[in-house]
Amino acid sequence: MNIKTRFAPSPTGNLHLGNIRTALYSWLFSRKFNGKFLLRIEDTDLTRSSEKSKKNIIKTLKWLNLIWDEGPYYQSKRLEYYNDIIEEMIVKNLAYRCYCSLERLNVLRANQISVGKKPKYDGNCRNISRTFQNRPHVVRFKNPKEGSVVVKDLVRGDIVFCNSELDDFILRRENGIPTYNFCTPIDDNKMDITHVIRGEEHINNTPKQINFLHAIGLKAPEYIHVAPILNQEGKKISKREDKLYGIESYQKKGFLPEAILNYLLRLGWSYGNLEIFSIEDMINYFSLKSIGKSPSMLNQKKMLWMNEYYIKSLPEFYIVQHLKTFSESQKNLLKQKIDLNKVAKLFKNRCQTLLEMIECSLPLFQEKNEFESIIPTYSSKAFLKLLYKFQKKISDLTDWNIISINSIILSLSKKFQIDVKEVYMFLRFVLTGKNQSPKISLVIYEIGKKITISKINYYFQYIYQKMIKK
């Protein structure tokens, strides 16, 4: 069998982690079997779909490198095709026009609920012989009244639905636009999709889609319904919580695509105790049978850990590329021009996100630091003299490399008889305003002579101001 999977988002907002996980599983399954992966934008809800969301979906998938072999298809461009099928179904008595008013449907629903029944359409228009093309109507599918339909979910096993429980669901709305439960199974079949991997929220749609496909003589694909991702409060994450769980919020924090994919793969799927998967590993090891049946809880700490791992282990040039796109997308982040190669050199092994890398770098490249309070020894004569000599030696240094910078520090430590560790701490404080940083000789090397000198000048000024205020 030639495997073909699809990702079929509705462009009604940004993709969230749950959407991306289904896209990833579908993509991996197709890659594993040398099959095809198709992208279909389900934009028949004209009021809720937007061009911006469509663009963002495509941009996000490209950023994640989940590249499709076919599409993107847009359902809104296939309306004529869908409507021809619907008209044919009416002629063949597989579907019917329903003229029931909203008022009638509301009363019906309220009555059913009041006697403890599950609300469903009562088939009022199912057998009327007259049709009024011009009267407002919807088109409904004639769902079989008897028997049952089995959803053979490849992860959950067989799920049986009685037909008596199912509605004559709507195929086409009053505005002439076909519904999700019509377009999606038709497209899945006509686009030769063999495996539909989608969120569990669609599990109640699947028996309808199977009945519908069988009624028009088409084969249903295999189905896999993936359990939801829960937030810290144990609630299912949704598009409405875009600011928290939308992919953009992770991009803004400076997550790498590798970390997001690896994290999402493991959230609801496992391969022994392995945590880290390269893309090749993912493709090799992925199998449907290891997809979990129960919901998974999002763990932001673990996501950060994963991101830190990838920042550390991916090549420096690649991190630089990401820092570049990241800082370009965050308009006001870089207040001054910083060489991102230097940022990577300094902070690749110390930060959990790209944002943190840039934020840690910014003060290093400023000519002035902010000092909250100064340890008294740092304004003592010996330290200031050492700093003065250091500045002089640094400005005379022609051979700008870490070793020569370090040997200046070592020689001054000896000359002034101050423990080298203390000298490092002192210089770190003078040059970064902090008591933690990458190796100070590396910092000096990367920020360069000019900035080092002006930072020292600023320190002298600062101390002087403090002294005259006393």
Interacting span for ligand GLU (CB under 6 A) from 4-12, 271-279, 405-413, 417-425: 4-12
Smallest gap from residue 210 Cβ to ligand GLU (A): 13
Nearer to ligand GLU, 184 or 441 (CB): 184
Q: Determine if 66 is a binding residue for ligand GLU (CB under 6 A).
A: no
239 is in an annotated binding site: yes
Interacting span for ligand GLU (CB under 6 A) from 3-11, 43-51, 53-61, 210-218: 3-11
Options 17, 23, 37, 42; binder of ligand GLU; rule CB under 6 A: 42
Q: Determine if 10 is a binding residue for ligand GLU (CB under 6 A).
A: yes
Nearer to ligand GLU, 85 or 334 (CB): 85
Torsion region of 143: left, alpha or beta (phi above 0 gives left; psi -120 to 50 gives alpha) = beta
Smallest gap from residue 332 Cβ to ligand GLU (A): 33
Smallest gap from residue 224 Cβ to ligand GLU (A): 11
With CB atoms as reference, the residue minimizing the distance to ligand GLU is 198
Residues 6+ apart with CB under 8 A from 317: none
Smallest gap from residue 202 Cβ to ligand GLU (A): 5
Q: Determine if 184 is a binding residue for ligand GLU (CB under 6 A).
A: yes
For 319, list phi and psi in degrees, rounded to 5: -65, -40
Nearer to ligand GLU, 10 or 413 (CB): 10
Options 126, 202, 368, 393; binder of ligand GLU; rule CB under 6 A: 202
Smallest gap from residue 131 Cβ to ligand GLU (A): 31
Give the binding-site size for ligand GLU (rule: CB under 6 A): 7
Smallest gap from residue 227 Cβ to ligand GLU (A): 15
Smallest gap from residue 206 Cβ to ligand GLU (A): 9
**Residue positions counted in the chain:** 470
Q: Determine if 198 is a binding residue for ligand GLU (CB under 6 A).
A: yes
Nearer to ligand GLU, 8 or 423 (CB): 8
Report yes or no: 70 and 119 within 8 Å, Cβ to Cβ.
no
Interacting span for ligand GLU (CB under 6 A) from 7-15, 64-72, 433-441, 445-453: 7-15
Nearer to ligand GLU, 16 or 322 (CB): 16
Report yes or no: 357 and 323 within 8 Å, Cβ to Cβ.
yes
Which tokens is 194 given?
Answer: 């063999």
Q: What is the DSSP string of 189-252?
A: HHTT--EEEEEGGGTTTHHHHHHHHHHTT----EEEEEPPEE-TTSPBP-GGGHHHHBHHHHHH
Options 4, 8, 53, 98; binder of ligand GLU; rule CB under 6 A: 8
Pairing outcome for strands 95-98 and 138-141: antiparallel
Smallest gap from residue 149 Cβ to ligand GLU (A): 17
Torsion region of 232: left, alpha or beta (phi above 0 gives left; psi -120 to 50 gives alpha) = alpha
Peptide bond into 9 cis (omega under 30): no
Nearer to ligand GLU, 48 or 312 (CB): 48
Q: How many CA atoms lie within 13 A of 367 on its CB side?
A: 8
Nearer to ligand GLU, 16 or 428 (CB): 16
Nearer to ligand GLU, 154 or 334 (CB): 154
Nearer to ligand GLU, 10 or 352 (CB): 10
Smallest gap from residue 78 Cβ to ligand GLU (A): 14
Residue 192 to residue 36: CA distance in whole angstroms: 10
Nearer to ligand GLU, 193 or 259 (CB): 193
Report yes or no: 427 and 362 within 8 Å, Cβ to Cβ.
no
Residues 109-138: b if buried by 16+ CB within 10 A, e if exposed: eeeeeeeeeeebbbeebeeeeeeeeeeebb
SS3 259: helix
Smallest gap from residue 305 Cβ to ligand GLU (A): 30
Interacting span for ligand GLU (CB under 6 A) from 5-13, 52-60, 288-296, 441-449: 5-13
Residue 35 to residue 33: CA distance in whole angstroms: 5
Which tokens is 304 given?
Answer: 């950060």
Interacting span for ligand GLU (CB under 6 A) from 6-14, 304-312, 351-359, 415-423: 6-14
Q: Determine if 9 is a binding residue for ligand GLU (CB under 6 A).
A: yes
Q: Determine if 409 is a binding residue for ligand GLU (CB under 6 A).
A: no
Report yes or no: 36 and 3 within 8 Å, Cβ to Cβ.
yes
CB atoms within 10 A of CB 35: 17
Residues 6+ apart with CB under 8 A from 106: none
Residue 80 to residue 83: CA distance in whole angstroms: 5
Residue 282 to residue 304: CA distance in whole angstroms: 20
> Which residues participate in the annotated binding site for ATP?
239
Return residues touching ligand GLU (CB under 6 A).
Answer: 8-10, 42, 184, 198, 202
